[in-house]
Structure 1
Amino acid sequence: MSTATKPTNGTDTADLAPVSTESLAALLVATERPPRPNAIRTSLTFGWRAMLKIKHVPEQLFDVTAFPIMLVLMYTYLFGGALAGSPREYIQYLLPGILVMSVTMITMYTGLAVNIDIEKGVFDRFRSLPIWRPSTLVGYLLGDALRYAMASVVMLSVGLIMGFRPDGGFQGVLGGVVLLLIFSFAFSWVWTMFGLLLRTEKSVMGVSMMILFPLTFLSDIFVRPETMPGWLQAFVNNNPITHLSSAVRGLMDGSWPTAEIAWSLGWAGLLVAVFGPVTMRLYNRK
């Protein structure tokens, strides 16, 4: 049975085409649904969303530009003369380590971004979409991977100006940066978990700094472990940041530190295997 709508604003009924329930149903219920986007496409879409945030808030680039430059200048000229005789000699050892330190430090912003979106209620909308569930989190990590690459380019450019000369050439530098990006992508899952687990942005930052400071400073980033007390060497030599910085330093020096590269990739795989499922379980239950 068809029913026609009645005008409510004084419009002549002759000017309106009759609308039946069948015609409305035909308009509202499509015969063919659009294809569901695959996991890669949705992950890249959310990664692009993360980059658009930087476009609208360019101040977010401070941590991948000014902060790395400040670290390189400060530590090179502060400790170079005392530890290596001159800043130019010290930067050959320091720059790969500072590169690792800077990039791993900014991985915590992934957790902060996730926590902020949860507080704003954006994640509730994402969960209602017919997409691959992990793509939201993977998109954050992909967007931040580009920021890590930007920080690496900035620091290497400043280092070359200050006298850093990698014996490994372009291939060694590229290999070190790629290894660093792989590890940082895996490391970001830790902070993503904290972004889902903790209630406020300040809590995420506080816990992240409490973990990052011992890992980065108690490593071989600034000095060789042989100069440290024996009890401290036991921690430093088994620190994942030590393995990573040694691997990146070796690649840039022109060598192939197989053991350190294997350790770094092993740590990356372990981080994803442990914190990836935990993060997704928290996301599904949040």
Structure 2
Amino acid sequence: MTTLTLTPRVSPAAGLRHTLTLAWRTLVQIKHNPAELLDFSIQPIMFLLLFTYVFGNAIMGSTGDYLTFALPGIIVQNALFATMNTGVGLSTDLEKGVFDRLRSLPIARTAPLAGRIIADVVKQSWAVALLLGGGWVLGFRIGTDPLSVLGGFLLLLVFALAVSWISVLIGMLAANPEKVQIFGFTVLFPITFTGNVFVPVSKMPGWLQAWAKVNPVSIIADALRGLWVTGAEARPIVYALLWAAGLTAVFATLAVRAFKRRT
């Protein structure tokens, strides 16, 4: 009769080391497959150019005024769309049996999940910096101080991290990466475009304005406009943090449970 030897519980320090190692694994893959960075590079700049020069004059009367209004919203939109890469990547790893191989190693069970999320947050940081740089070239100027800019940067990453748990949950429940992407964009497109990302709330139909004002996408976009352009306002910042905390509390719990069942 075979005797099974239980693997000792992994310490928090070792679990953190495993997580960072797997996060680095995900980032290093970009070196061998640069196409993975396209969603975080070409797509953001494409949205920035299209919305600024196609809709700028029609909505605001000038591309400069529109860029000042829209760039924080475009950054939010890009960050939310990019969270789908987390779910797609996890689903791809599951489909290819990566987690089966990792499960046989003496590592923290949640390290592959946490590593993927951390790597995608780093990619998000790159996309935000790229959009701010592109906006500056087109004429966008920061109207606040460096501390507010950093605060907006961190607030966006916290909010994107909270939304990424929804992507993780979808990745665990969907049958394949394609379904993750389809379901994710089906949810994110209407939520994003019914916020004040591209159009001020005052220019929307009356029945839509009520939703746009409470839409979490509008709230985080207003928070960034305050931190980067007009001066920080406590209300949207606090509401954005509350939304992030609520989304994390609900979807992180569900996603971790689904991850443990799936792996």
Whether these two folds match at TM > 0.5 is yes
Q: Match for 1:39 among 7, 15, 20?
A: 15
Q: Match for 1:114 among 90, 99, 103?
A: 90
Structure 2 Cα separation of the partners of residues 130 and 238 of structure 1: 46
| Residue aligning to 1:87 | 63
Comparing 121-130 with 172-181, which one deviates more in the overlay?
A: 121-130
Alpha-carbon deviations, 1:41-86, whole Å to 9, x = none?
1211111111012121111111111111111111111111112221
- The higher relative CO (CA closer than 8 Å, separation ≥ 6) is in 2
Structure 1 Cα separation of the partners of residues 244 and 176 of structure 2: 27
1:257 matches 2:251: no
Q: CA deviation at 1:151?
A: 0.4
Runs of 4+, deviation exceeding 6 Å: none
Q: CA deviation at 1:130?
A: 2.9
Structure 1 Cα separation of the partners of residues 100 and 214 of structure 2: 40
Structure 2 Cα separation of the partners of residues 273 and 104 of structure 1: 18
The 8 Å contact of residues 172 and 254 in structure 1, kept in 2 or not, is answered as no
The 8 Å contact of residues 108 and 188 in structure 1, kept in 2 or not, is answered as yes
Matched letter for residue 192 of structure 2: T
Alpha-carbon deviations, 1:2-40, whole Å to 9, x = none?
xxxxxxxxxxxxxxxxxxxxxxxxxxxxxxx9x855222
Structure 2 Cα separation of the partners of residues 268 and 195 of structure 1: 20
| Structure 1 residues without counterparts, runs of 5 or longer | 1-32
Q: CA deviation at 1:128?
A: 3.0
Q: 1:1-286 to 2 correspondence within 5 Å?
A: 38-286=14-262
Q: CA deviation at 1:254?
A: 4.3
Matched letter for residue 260 of structure 1: P
Structure 2 Cα separation of the partners of residues 41 and 142 of structure 1: 13
Number of aligned residues = 255
Q: CA deviation at 1:217?
A: 0.5
TM-score, normalization: structure 1? 0.85
Change over 3 Å in CA distance of 1:149–1:132 after alignment to 2:
same
Structure 2 Cα separation of the partners of residues 127 and 267 of structure 1: 33
TM-score, normalization: structure 2? 0.92
The 8 Å contact of residues 247 and 264 in structure 1, kept in 2 or not, is answered as yes
Alpha-carbon deviations, 1:194-226, whole Å to 9, x = none?
111111111000000001101111100112112
Structure 1 Cα separation of the partners of residues 219 and 119 of structure 2: 25
Structure 2 Cα separation of the partners of residues 158 and 75 of structure 1: 13
Structure 2 Cα separation of the partners of residues 161 and 46 of structure 1: 35
Q: CA deviation at 1:114?
A: 0.3
Matched letter for residue 275 of structure 1: F
Structure 2 Cα separation of the partners of residues 118 and 197 of structure 1: 11
| Residue aligning to 1:23 | none
Alpha-carbon deviations, 1:68-124, whole Å to 9, x = none?
111111111111111222111211101111011111111100000000010111111
Q: Superposition RMSD on alpha carbons, in Å?
A: 1.8
Which structure would you say has the larger Rg?
1
Identical-residue share of aligned pairs (%): 39
